[in-house]
Every structure is written in structure tokens, then in C-alpha cells.
Amino acid sequence: MKSLLFSYKDTCQVSENEFDSVLKKIESELQKIAQARLTRYESVYASINLPNDYRVHAKIIELADKKKKLKISSIVVIGIGGSNLGAMAIYEALYGQDYNEQKCDIKVYWADSIDSDYINNIFQSLEKELENDREILLNVISKSGRTTETIANFQIFLELLRRYRPHNYNEFVVVITDQGSPLWRLAEKNQFDRLSIPENVGGRYSVFSAVGLFPLALLGLDIKKLVDGAQYMVEQSSSSAFYENPAAIIAGLLYVSYRKNIYISDLFLFSKDLQSVGMWFRQLLAESIGKECDIQGNSVNVGITPTVSIGTTDLHSMAQLHLGGPNNTFTMFVSIKNNKSRLSVPFSKEPEQLLSNINGKSLSVIMNATLNGVQQAYFEKKRPYASVVIPKKDEWYIGQFLQMNMIAVMYLGYLLKVNPFDQPEVELYKKETRKILSYE
């Protein structure tokens, strides 16, 4: 099986006439996406050309191999938002949420907060590594090169590294940023290895650039398989045949639903390992579509609120609202066809069995039965949804899934007449933060 399994026709509450109207609106954008594949990084759609930039992939793998020779025991990825969510999502999807408790060659820490206690816990773990004469790597990522949270954490960990490795600390730092940014210039001055982010690739679209690929390559993932899966989805999602284009269909579903006052998009993930994929998607949709003004400068206050649910856990907290509350949510169910484990409920001969219908069944069978039951309940209550089945958790399919959603959001921005590539209000809070800190 080569593709994700995507179904929506009988459950999405969108008619053929409504889809046909979307097709008419989106035809020119389908052509632009197809054309952008020929322009490398010159257009605003630059990120769709990341998966086939084999020259950059080779450079990333070369640098990762160079750092592996240093016998790295831990890497701390210092970034926030688009600078680390994609890599974290992919790593956790493939290795699970307890990856550092497994026998990994390299432990990974995500310094994506300025919560003092959280960062201090990472700090203490890294200090123990250094005290025991093991090596750590700092991978600092900031597109602008001056993200407050990232630079604060970088300075803290860099000082720790300098204290224990005063003569060669620069060998244990990799900087990923825009070429010419303040962080880039600092890297040049200190002789840190550095990788650049293409100018027209924004943070939330950057997972298949060095931003995501370098730490994943260092951690042992097959990044060729990952980008090949993404490239396969670029081809599928740039097709001018609307009904064969999964990204265009997803955009159409969300657009028509939004026009019907369905303002919430819930990504319902029936796999705990995909929880960070949900966090990645939340940023992608919220930051790309939530806009005060349209592309012509008119005040529109457009937005779709992304939520993330985890099956079956959140059935015991959110199902009542989704099935009994306002009909204002479009749900995308995501499940895994083939899990890695085959854990089953033991067969019991006790006469007082608590629940006889699960006797001897695998947890995967029970999970799938629950998912099917939930979807049937949604159907009966006329709650709109679509579903994606990921054949298995590997680089090929996870690459497809992330790429499909990025292109879908591009199409959705066009349909809603907003710019899906900027984030002006985010810049506003950053400006105010710097102003406050300058007086503290």
C-alpha cells in the first residue's frame, strides 16, 4: 500500500454541488501550485520544493555524520513553534512518547519553552552528561535569528557547554537560521556549523528543510524515506484533477464547513504517538488562517480554531460535547492500520468476567471497534467528518501526512482570501515583549 487512505464522501455533510463550486474557485490556485514546483524557492509556495532538494539533503546528512563521530550522547533542540514542532512530531510518531526511556543511541530534549523548571530539568540532565565525560550537542533553530525564548535558552545552554568544553565547545553547536540573520553572524564569529533556511520558507512550513531534517538525521531517522513520502504527496496534491487531490479536498471540506458556521477543526488522533503531530497541525492551521485582514487589506477576522483529541482517551472528556453540543466542529479522524505491537487481553475462564466481549481480543481490535463506533455515532448525529488511515507509522507515510496538510492549508488560505504565509499579530506580541524587557 503506497498511499494514505482518505475517505469523506458519505460523512462530510458536503454535497457534490458544493464541491463543484469549490473546484471553480480553486482552479487557478491548483495551477499556481503546479507552477511553483518549477521555480525552486522563488515563490511563496517555496516549501513544496523542499522534499526534492537533494543537494541540501546531502549536505544535511554529511553534517549529521560529522557530528555523530563526536560520540554525541544527547542533543537539545532549542527552538519554538515551527522551529521544533515538526521534528518533534515526526520523532514521537516513529519512536513513541517515551523515546528517552528506550535504549536510544542519542537522547533528545526539546527546549521549546522558557518555563524555568522545565528548562532547569533539561539543564541538570545535560550537566550530568558532561560531568560523566559524555558529549552533548546544541541545535539552535530560529528563522529570524532573534526569537526571544530561543536565544534565552541558547545562551543558558551555551554557557554550560563552554564551562565543560572550554577549548572546543564550538564543535558541539549547530545553528539553523536565515542566512545573514543575527544568529547566523554569531555562528560565523564563533565558527559554529550552520545550515540555512530558504528565505521564502516560513517556520510552520519548514519541517522538510534543515529545521526538521538535521536533528532527525542525527537521531537516526531515514530522512530520504521521509522526504520521498513528502514528495509523493506534493505530486498528488498539485494535481489539477480536483477529486484526485487530497489536499484540495481537505481545503474544500474546511472551507464549505466554515461557510456553514463550522468554525472548529478537530484532529482526532487514534494513536497517542501522534499527539505532537496534532500540536504541529494546530500551529499550522491557526497561524496560517487566523487573520484580521484579507489579502486586499479588508478587516475580516477570519479563523478556524484547531483542536486536538486523542482516541480513546478524549472520548471520556470530549465526546459528549462533540455529539451533544453545538454542531460547530469538523472532525478529521486519523488512525493507524498496522501498529507495531500485538498486545492482547488475556483469555479468562473466570465466571465473573468483567467484560466478556473483549476476552482474548487484541488492543488494536478494540481500538478499531471503538473508532468505528464513534464514527457511526457521528454519522447518525449528522456531525461532519472525514477520516485518514495511515497504513503504518514510518517515515514514508508520516512524510505524506504532514505534506498533505501543509498544502491543504495553502489552498484553504486562497479560498478564504487570506495570506497563509504571514503572522502579523504574532510579530505584534514579540515586539511588545522586547519593549517590556528593555525596561525591566
Rounded Cα–Cα distance for residues 216 and 106 (Å): 11
The verdict on whether 287 is a catalytic residue reads: yes
Name, in order, each residue with C-beta under 8 angstroms of 55's C-beta and a sequence gap of 6 or more. Answer: none
> Which of 335, 392, 333, 365 is CA-nearest to residue 3?
392
Looking at 32, 68, 417, 430, which residue is catalytic? 430
The verdict on whether 432 is a catalytic residue reads: no
- 3-class secondary structure, 50: coil
**Structural contact between residues 45 and 201, judged by C-beta atoms closer than 8 angstroms:** no
CA distances from 286 to 175, 255, 303, 348 (A): 27, 14, 7, 48
Rounded Cα–Cα distance for residues 270 and 401 (Å): 15
Rg of the chain over all Cα atoms, to the nearest angstrom: 23
Grid cell in block for residue 253 = 471540506
Phi, psi of 376 (to 5 degrees): -65, -40
Looking at 143, 287, 291, 393, which residue is catalytic? 287
Name, in order, each residue with C-beta under 8 angstroms of 109's C-beta and a sequence gap of 6 or more. Answer: 74, 75, 76, 77, 100, 122, 125, 126
Grid cell in block for residue 107 = 537522547
Looking at 316, 349, 382, 435, which residue is catalytic? 316
DSSP letter string over 121-139? Answer: HHHHHHHHHHHTT-EEEEE
CA distances from 287 to 163, 201, 422 (A): 39, 14, 8
The verdict on whether 57 is a catalytic residue reads: no
Beta-bridge partner residues of 110? 77
Q: What are the start-end ranges of the E strands in 189-286? A: 193-196, 264-270
Residues classed as catalytic: 287, 316, 430
